[in-house]
């Protein structure tokens, strides 16, 4: 069973995919997917509390559950481009929050695991949103290197789900059709 929950905020599309895979409930969060639109600078703390209450209630249920957060390699490196520095900072925050959540869930002895998947360039609509004023530049982005495909990310998810319950895969880095780093805890 697969349930897609999609929301749109400006040019950014947030997707959360819920899957039941061999008795394990799986949440794949791609590019944010927050239930409420409550920015850090202008958001209401009541909205943040609602999101945290919903998300933290997961560990109270005695189920096997896996949270995947798919985001950017920018969560691990800083490129020499001033336009990308705040974006990079936000991705570092996602890295820290996901790792903190994974540690807390493990310490609480839940049946919930959390994994970051950080792909390099994946051939999606991302560049077309980023360069909406210049479709030629978007197309050139995907022709500049051999890109990952959605199936590569799906294979990473299956790999992590196949790990036995006592193994926690915290991070998978993809870059140009290679699995660079797989961190186990």
76 is catalytic: no
Q: Of 21, 25, 19, 101, give the one whose Cα is nearest residue 63.
A: 25
From 134, 183, 128, select the one nearest 160 (Cα to Cα): 183
CA angle 54, 14, 122 (to 5 degrees): 130
- Indicate the Cα dihedral angle 163, 31, 111, 152, nearest 10°: -10
The active-site residue, picked from 87, 92, 142, 159, is: 87
Q: Are 101 and 114 in contact (CB under 8 A)?
A: yes
SS3 state of residue 10: coil
Beta-bridge partners for 117: 70, 172
Give the active site residues.
Answer: 87
């Amino acid at each position: 069973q697969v349930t897609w929950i999609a929301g749109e905020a400006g040019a950014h599309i947030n997707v959360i995919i819920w899957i039941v895979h061999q008795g394990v409930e799986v949440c794949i969060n791609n590019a944010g997917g927050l239930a409420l639109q409550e920015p850090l600078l202008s958001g209401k703390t009541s909205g943040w509390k609602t999101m945290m209450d919903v998300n933290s209630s997961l560990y109270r249920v005695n189920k096997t559950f896996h949270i995947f957060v798919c985001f950017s390699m920018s969560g691990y490196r800083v490129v020499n481009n001033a336009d990308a520095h705040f974006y990079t900072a936000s991705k570092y925050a996602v890295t820290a929050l996901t790792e903190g959540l994974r540690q807390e869930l493990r310490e609480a002895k839940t049946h919930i695991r959390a994994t970051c998947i950080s792909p390099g360039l994946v051939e999606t609509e991302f560049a077309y949103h980023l360069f909406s004023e210049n479709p030629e530049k978007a197309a050139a982005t995907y022709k500049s290197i051999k890109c990952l495909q959605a199936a590569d990310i799906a294979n990473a998810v299956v790999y992590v789900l196949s790990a036995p319950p006592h193994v926690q895969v915290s991070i998978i880095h993809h870059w140009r059709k290679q699995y660079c780093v797989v961190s186990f805890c």
